[in-house]
Amino acid sequence: MKVLRLLATAALLMGAGCVAGQRTASMELSKLVPSQRRAPIMEQPEGRLIGNMVASYGGYTRNWLYGLMDVSTDGGMGRIVEGTDGCIYIYNLPTGLNAGSWVKAERAEGDTIIIRRQQIDQRTGSGQTYDYYLTRVVWEWTNQATGEGKFVEAQGDQDMRLLYHDGVLESTEENIDPFTEGHYALGAVYTTDNKTFTWEGATNWNLRYEELTDTPLTLPEGAVTETMTVDYNPDSPQATQTKVAFVGNEVYINLFEANTYIRGTIDGDKLRFKSGQYLGSYYDTYQLFFVAERFRKVTDETTGEEVEIPDILDELVFDYNAQDRSFQTQDALVINAGRNSTRLYLQALKAPRFYFFDEVPATPADPKITNYNATLSQYGYNALQFTISPTDVDGGYIVPDKLSWRAFIDDYPFLFTPDDYEGLTESMAEIPYGFTDPQSDIYLSFYTIYFQPVKNVGLQTIYRGAGEERRSNIVYYDIKTSQIYTQPDPETGVGEIENDGMVNGQPVKAQYYDLSGRSVPEGTRGLLIKRVTKADGSVRNVKVIGK
């Protein structure tokens, strides 16, 4: 009889409607009756959709690279359906899991709605099937002195309660602060056997969803856009270009990452942009806003290191030059998730300067090596990680389409060939800025190496602008010491071979050989070895590309 009562209760649960005041059994039964588990709701339920909501919440999510991350925001993207069946359906909870499913909530007394423990996703990997559930989780300290802990699935009552009224969803007092005893959060757990459930790392608490009535700004009819250059982040210079429209005393800037406009007003020699302008949603995850911020430096009490803290301003004020229509500020233009929180932002342009660009010859900035992955024995390749900015040595903008880079291995220029890099159809000695091969061996920020270099790996940028070719220093990573150092370009820097056969006033002799060691005349096409013999008898071999 006990088994019959259990099955009857499970059947009641599966058929339960969402009538106000109705109370059904806990989804804890899903552990005991796996055949009655409800599949994730992936299709949008029937009913009234509130499709553009701004969501604020506290949150954690697990990132494979950075570990557990705080993703609390007041600019999340939310959706709710008031179902024709009387239920309330909430999209994508918890937000960090990105399951893309709808969570079903039943109406209870007053404005209370109840979310039962329910399956929200199913994924496969490593030959296993992972079932994900939304459930009630509580914080458990592992070392309170150091602030270490984790969320675990609550025992006993696993129902999650929220309030819903007139299109507004918000937490009750029961789950506002999950780090305090007696409170809880909405979290994801997963299982492979329906017996052991592990916290996935995605958790939300202190939720509030409300409809967003703002709309992204559009240009006035007849407005003409012009291309302006933007320099920003002077501590680590970067530059780009974007569209700007001048309409009377108003200025419209296209924020390239958000792909929408903000509007400012010219006020004498100032240009003012009101903070908080809505920019639209980002991958159905965040609601983006333009936020004016001022970064101030403070000392972290824990580490003793100097860090930057952003403060939100009412407006971003530029100094405006009416003669050339350029403008700049020392504060920051931020594309932010939310109007008031500084936790999450898509992009921050510190001290941006907008101006009309005139191309001139320029020496490109040195590339920056960020890491060298020596993983040949483990993965079959090594990799050099780096960043290249389309800026000159002074931080000014240069045209990305005229920028390229070349790799160096053991002091020699490296030739990428189809034999080693299957994604290539021809050999490449120079890689255009932004190029990616189909196999992703050569990327904007790294290249792979399918053998073991002995001494070093390096990088150099080349810019051909305004009719001149100029090269950066060569930046090397020393494999043995892990030190990063620079050397002048052997072709155009110190030691350049002049037309009269002199180097720094000393006579030299240059001979050229192909890779098989045969002597070839200067100007032979292809990858060559140039042997330079100086007046003191010293010899230096340099790999060059003959043109």
pLDDT value at residue 55: 96
pTM of the complete model: 0.74
Find, among 87, 110, 84, 80, the residue nearest to 18 by Cα: 87
Q: Which two tokens stand for residue 374?
A: 């020596």
Q: What is the C-alpha to C-alpha distance for residues 365 and 361, in angstroms, rounded to an integer?
A: 13
- In one-letter notation, the amino acid at residue 23 is R
Q: Report the pLDDT value the prediction gives residue 504, as an integer from 0 to 100.
A: 42
C-alpha distances in angstroms, 276 versus 75, 236, 317, 330, 497? 11, 26, 14, 19, 58
pLDDT in the model for residue 497: 33
Which of 223, 207, 46 minimizes the C-alpha distance to 134? 207
CA 388 – CA 404 distance, rounded (Å): 9
Question: Within 10 Å of residue 188's Cβ, how many Cβ atoms?
Answer: 26
- Residue 451: the pLDDT is 85
Give residues with Cβ within 8 angstroms of 332, minimum separation 6.
Answer: 292, 293, 294, 295, 310, 316, 348, 349, 350, 351, 352
pLDDT (tens place) for every residue of the chain, 547 residues total:
322 222 233 333 333 467 544 333 333 333 333 433 579 999 999 999 999 999 999 999 987 767 788 899 999 999 999 999 999 999 999 999 999 999 999 999 999 999 999 999 999 988 899 999 999 999 998 888 887 888 999 999 999 999 999 999 999 988 788 888 889 999 999 999 999 999 999 999 999 999 999 999 999 999 999 999 999 998 888 889 999 999 999 999 999 888 899 999 999 999 999 999 999 998 888 999 999 999 998 988 878 888 889 999 999 999 999 999 999 999 999 999 999 988 888 899 999 999 999 999 999 999 999 999 999 888 899 999 999 999 999 888 999 999 999 999 888 888 898 888 999 999 898 999 999 999 999 998 999 999 888 899 999 999 999 999 999 999 999 999 999 999 998 765 333 333 334 444 444 566 776 665 567 777 776 667 666 665 555 555 555 666 5
> Residue 333: CB partners within 8 Å, gap ≥ 6?
232, 255, 273, 290, 292, 316, 348, 349, 352
Whether the CB-CB separation of 190 and 131 falls below 8 Å is answered with: yes
Decide if 373 contacts 380 (C-beta within 8 A): no
Domain ranges of the chain: 2-211, 225-355, 360-494, 497-547
Tens-place pLDDT, residues 231-260? 999 888 888 999 999 999 999 999 988 889
Residue showing tokens 């790799």: 407
Q: Is 458:408 a contact under the CB 8 Å cutoff?
A: yes
What is residue 33's predicted lDDT score, i.e. its pLDDT? 37
Q: How does pLDDT run across 62-102, given as a tens digit for each residue? A: 877 677 888 999 999 999 999 999 999 999 999 999 999 99
DSSP state of 493: S
Asked if residue 161 lies in contact with residue 88, where contact means CB atoms within 8 angstroms, the answer is no
Q: Can you tell me the distance from the alpha carbon of 431 to that of 441, in angstroms, rounded to the nearest whole number?
A: 12
Task: State the SS3 of 153-207.
Answer: ECCCCCCEEEEEECCEEEECHHHCCCCCCCCCEEEEEEECCCCCCEEEEEEEEEE
Burial (Cβ within 10 Å: 0-12, 13-18, ≥19) of residue 425: exposed
Helix (H) or strand (E) holding 128: strand 128-143
Place of tokens 């002077």: 234
The pLDDT score that the predictor gives to residue 144 is 81
What contacts 61, CB < 8 A, 6 or more positions away? Answer: 68, 69, 71, 94, 95, 96, 97, 201, 202, 203
CA distances from 296 to 299, 313, 331, 352, 529 (A): 10, 12, 10, 16, 52
Q: Supply 480's token pair.
A: 């043995």
3-state secondary structure of 236: coil
Please provide the DSSP assignment of 470-492 as one string.
Answer: EE-PEEEEETTT--EEEE--TTT
Query: What pLDDT shows up at residue 237?
Result: 86
> What CATH number is given for 360-494 in this structure?
2.60.40
Q: Give residue 546's pLDDT.
A: 62
How far is the C-alpha of 160 from the C-alpha of 26, rounded, in Å? 10
